[in-house]
Structure 1
Amino acid sequence: MTTTTPTPTPTTRGRTTSGLRPSLRRVGVLARAELRLLVRNRTALFNALALPLLTVALITAVGGVGDGAPDVVGPMLLNVLTLMALTFVVYYNLTVAYVARREELVLKRYLVGESSRAEILAGAAVPAVVVAATQSVLGVVGVSVFLEPPALVNPLLMVVAVVGGSVMLTALAAATSGLSRTVESAQLTTLPLLFVALPFAGLFGGAAPGGSSGVFDTISTFTPLRPIADLMMLGAVGLDRDGQVLSTFGETVAAGRLSVAVLVAWTVIGVLAARRWMRWEPRR
């Protein structure tokens, strides 16, 4: 009598590790395809790399800084550049890209392959996130050269703002694309975030319009873009929502806990909304 030795099956740890590498590889392939499209668009590439430096130089040259202290105005300008990059490069451009890929049946073809839905969305988002992060870094360079280097009280909070904001806005872009029938209609479906949430974002630090104890500031605390601005100002110069300047790493971490919580909450909302509304083929 012979016995058959069962074929060993991979452990859960092995499956997890072996499954992660192909997943990252698939995301990388999709990201490179999107990146090639960006590189071919010389205007978009120029705007992505040169616009932050030119913006800082132009504002400085025409006297846009005014009488403000360079060590405060610089981080405020950096805050504006980062928010503009995240809202327009990540959120708006990704919404349009998702709609365009859907209408061209690209997303449907991707689904036939090995890539999961999350991998497809991530692959398309990687170039936009890289561009936004690059603009933020170049913004720091521009502010340091033309104004004064920011104090960088807690750079970790700045990283959380850019990375966390990118993830949140990618999820919201996927959800918004499902509400957009065409690329042209995406210009309308993105308006609520661009022109309603943006004024409450606290672009220049401190309280939103209405006063620190007013209803507008209370509302702005829980809007999607405000935590990004608050974390950027906390990390760059230690300025909290009440206009107080914090000088230690621990103080800024404590002051940023609410902003991180709001950022995580909006990310969860974006993911749930994307699962509910995201469409992978044209509407009939």
Structure 2
Amino acid sequence: MTGTTTAGRLNALGRAEMTLLARNRTTVFMVLLMPVLLIFVMKSTLQEVGLEDSGLTVAGASLSGGIGMVLLQVVYMNLVAAYVARREELVLKRLRTGEVSDREILAGTALPAVCLALVQCALIVAVGTLAFDLSAPRRPELLVLGLLLGGVLLTALAAVTSALTRTVQTAQLTTLPLFLVSLLGSGLFVPLDLLPDLAASLCELLPVTGVMTLVRAGWLGGVPGHDVLGATLTALAWTVLAVFAGQRWFRWDPRR
């Protein structure tokens, strides 16, 4: 590593990972274009769903949900494949023989994906504010908190999922359960207010639901204070649990 400090080592790992990411055209497409395409698809679907009871517009629901899509695809799904690829290529094992700690290896690998996701989320907010007549973030501190917790949570969940994933190809299958559960039950596009009471109560406990509640409350407002507190505690609890599980069960050796 070119740096002897934690910041220097993270910077070196992040730059190396960004170089590898840029060389993979399929990954670049998934990271940059797929979330945008899904936003337009879901916007067309939401036009047929009554959102009046939730207090959201089609643009507000689709664009705030697009932030969740970015976090899931750019951070979670992309990182599972990255961790598996680096593990099977013995990159992680070689890094562990140097001065870099295990946490620095995992964080450095995740750094480009998390930074890219945050930039895309900022662009979504800017486009929504300027082009779709949505309000500027009403509580930016909640929006930032939601994005940061989402980045850490999904990085940790990616580390956990990679332990269950044998190859890069099977990463598309192992990431599918969390993606579908979050898409359908975490309020990405269909607010939980439109679900039956029992279903909504259960969905509030899903990993990504707290993050999405914070994002929506921070950008669009309209979320009661007790719901914000509950969402924060839920997101923090899942983050702590995921970080612990990632440190406990992450696999460093190839699964050949």
Question: Scaled by the length of structure 2, what TM-score is found?
Answer: 0.86
* SS of residue paired to 1:115: coil
Structure 1: where are the runs of 5+ without partners?
Answer: 1-20, 241-245
In 2, are the aligned partners of 1:206 and 1:239 still within 8 Å (CA)?
Answer: no
How far apart, in 1, do the equivalents of 2:85 and 2:31 lie?
21
1:223 matched to 2:206:
yes
Partner of 1:181: 166
1:155 matched to 2:140:
yes
In 1, are the aligned partners of 2:46 and 2:62 still within 8 Å (CA)?
Answer: no
* SS of residue paired to 1:139: helix
1:236 matched to 2:219:
yes
How far apart, in 2, do the equivalents of 1:48 and 1:282 lie?
25
Runs of 4+ in 1 over 4 A off after TM superposition: 41-60, 62-71
> In the superposition, relative to structure 1, how do residues 56 and 273 fare at CA in structure 2: closer, same or farther (>3 Å)?
closer
Partner of 1:172: 157
How far apart, in 2, do the equivalents of 1:172 and 1:192 lie?
12
* SS of residue paired to 2:161: helix
Residue type of the partner of 1:224? P
Partner of 1:23: 6
How far apart, in 2, do the equivalents of 1:51 and 1:279 lie?
29
Aligned equivalent of 1:126, options 111, 131, 135: 111
How far apart, in 1, do the equivalents of 2:45 and 2:199 lie?
30
Partner of 2:19: 36
Partner of 1:14: none
Query: Which is further off, 31-40 or 132-141?
Result: 31-40
Q: How far off its partner does 1:166 sit?
A: 0.8
Partner of 2:189: 204
Aligned equivalent of 2:243, options 256, 267, 271: 271
1:24-60: CA deviations, max 9, x gaps? 2111110011112233346655665566677778988
1:101 matched to 2:80:
no
Superposition CA RMSD, Å: 2.9
1:161-212: CA deviations, max 9, x gaps? 111011001001001101111112222221220122331111236425632x
Count matched residues. 251
* SS of residue paired to 2:99: coil
How far apart, in 1, do the equivalents of 2:212 and 2:57 lie?
14
Partner of 2:254: 282
Aligned equivalent of 1:256, options 210, 213, 228: 228
How far apart, in 2, do the equivalents of 1:188 and 1:277 lie?
19
Query: Which is further off, 196-205 or 41-50?
Result: 41-50
In 2, are the aligned partners of 1:161 and 1:232 still within 8 Å (CA)?
Answer: yes
> In the superposition, relative to structure 1, how do residues 157 and 205 fare at CA in structure 2: closer, same or farther (>3 Å)?
farther
Structure 2: where are the runs of 5+ without partners?
Answer: none
Aligned equivalent of 1:80, options 60, 65, 70: 65
* SS of residue paired to 2:5: helix
Query: Which is further off, 31-40 or 261-270?
Result: 31-40
Question: Scaled by the length of structure 1, what TM-score is found?
Answer: 0.78
Partner of 1:112: 97
In 2, are the aligned partners of 1:49 and 1:134 still within 8 Å (CA)?
Answer: no
How far apart, in 2, do the equivalents of 1:68 and 1:193 lie?
25
Q: Percent identity?
A: 40
1:90-144: CA deviations, max 9, x gaps? 1111001100000000000010111111000000101111111111111112212
In 1, are the aligned partners of 2:165 and 2:171 still within 8 Å (CA)?
Answer: yes
> In the superposition, relative to structure 1, how do residues 46 and 236 fare at CA in structure 2: closer, same or farther (>3 Å)?
same
How far apart, in 2, do the equivalents of 1:99 and 1:63 lie?
34
In 1, are the aligned partners of 2:184 and 2:190 still within 8 Å (CA)?
Answer: no
